[in-house]
Chains A and B, each alone.
Chain A
Amino acid sequence: MESQIEKKSNGQAVESAGEAAYFEPPADVQETNEALVISFDVPGALAEDVETEVRDSQLTLTAKVRPVDGKWRPLYGEVRAGHFRRQFRLGQQLDQSRITAKLEDGVLTVILPKVEAAKPRRIRIQVN
């Protein structure tokens, strides 16, 4: 059905309806002197199926998970089929042009460096 297909900016056609559900992956957010480090649990997602995007100070993570081969009949399930999506609003203290991400063993780690002005500094005290 044509109404269910929309063109993304890169020209790739994607299904916009009838798609599997999206769930929010659990995340750890750790702050160091240099950066904010966010790690997401996205088990089953491969590098080519993960997208991290920053737009209007919003970080969006999308990770698609490929379904199990159709020959397997589900007997019992504790995890619902679907993809991952989660968004975080970013403050002005992060350098949005230097964000990096890596995927390892189903964990996506995004490193958001702080701008210089937001890094802690030691102030030297002058003694007269």
Chain B
Amino acid sequence: MFATRWPWLFEDSLLRPEELFRVFAPYLGTPSRRSGGAYPPVNVFDDGQRFLVRAEVPGVKKDSLEVTAQGDQLTIRGERPAPARGEEGRYHRRECQYGPFRRTVTLPEPIDAEKIEATYRAGVLEVVLPRTPEAQPRKISVN
């Protein structure tokens, strides 16, 4: 398998051979920023009343994003269009991901779908989802 992939590494005239190190870096124990294979990667936070789901979708236009919620599930859909390439263009390296995506995140408790707020900025989608009134934590006074 490697035999077929080697030649493109060396035909690279504008990047020097030190760049080859990068090819092997993943095998040399460089810490990875992302874990899990699903796209887009998400982080989930909680402030007691609400959940915050933060999804990284660089290169996506705001208008292509669709956010829906039901019960305890949040679904994010969108598409990152592949870059328009000139006819003469050729790739030395392609590491970014393109194409349509869809991901459903299940939250630990039911959420109030009417009160969800989503914002998109700098390639990050943030969705704030309040718990349903029944799921809100309550302080019980002791008599």
Contacts and interface: CB of A to CB of B under 8 A. Distances in A.
B93 A89 contact: no
A68 B52 contact: yes
A29 B52 contact: no
Interface residues of B, number: 49
B47 A73 contact: yes
A54 interface: no
B16 A89 contact: yes
A79 B35 CA distance: 7
B58 A78 contact: no
B116 interface: no
Contacts of A29: 15, 91-93
B122 A39 contact: no
B88 to A, nearest CB: 5
A91 to B, nearest CB: 5
B56 A30 contact: no
Interface string A35-77: 0110101111110000000000000000000001001111111
Given A32-B86, A72-B45, A105 B91 contact: no
Contacts of A44: 56, 122-124
Given A23-B33, A75-B51, A91-B16, A105 B122 contact: yes
Contact of A43 (B25, B46, B57): B57
A78 B43 contact: yes
Given A27-B96, A30-B90, A105 B15 contact: no
Interface in B36-86: 36, 38, 41-47, 51-52, 54, 56-61, 83, 85-86
Given A23-B31, A24-B25, 8 more contacts: A24-B22, A26-B97, A27-B93, A30-B83, A32-B86, A44-B122, A88-B19, A105-B122
